[in-house]
Amino acid sequence: MGKSRRYYSKRQKRQKIMQQAALERIDYFFNQANIIISNNPTLAHRYIEHARRLAMATKINIPPKYRHQICHHCKHWLKAGVNARYRLGQMKNYASYLAVTCLDCGHTTRYPYKGPACQHLKWISSLQPKNPEKKQNRN
């Protein structure tokens, strides 16, 4: 017997096509905002607003690579050196984190990247190079 095939209704097909088109449009808005933010920040923030509204209207999530570059407070596009400050920090006996500060509103968001809070990110440690053999001191 062959593989079973899933059949979509006309409404489901139309919805999938609309969501795919919306994702492409959202990607376009974010890329344009990234290019233009240095010259015209208000236009870049307007692109982000359009992308967010499009995502809400089509009921899709903004991809994580873009979601972490939006201020959670004022919803502005964050770019290092232009309107955002990125710092690495560490909590005692807990985890290391990336602190992103929006220079427009002053809000700080922390993203853990190492430690017990990030057990779901175990695959990252497999990407790091192994420790090389220690060289012996020649005295």
Q: How would residue 8 be classed by pLDDT, with cut points 50, 70 and 90?
A: confident
Full domain range(s) for residue 90: 80-126
Per-residue pLDDT tens over the stretch 91-104: 777 778 888 999 99
Residues 24 and 62 in one domain: yes
**Its pTM surpasses 0.75:** no
pLDDT the model gives residue 124: 45
The answer to whether residue 127 scores a pLDDT higher than 50 is: no
Contact 33, 48 (CB under 8 A): yes
Residue ranges of E strands in 5-115: 84-90, 96-102, 108-114
Phi, psi of 116 (to 5 degrees): -65, -25
Three-state DSSP state, 82: coil
**Predicted pLDDT at 35:** 93
- The Cα 123–Cα 85 span in angstroms is 27
65-99 per-position pLDDT tens digit: 888 889 999 999 998 888 999 888 887 777 788 88
Measured over the CA atoms of residue 67, residue 73, residue 75 and residue 78, the dihedral's sign is negative
Check whether residue 93 and residue 56 sit in a common domain: no
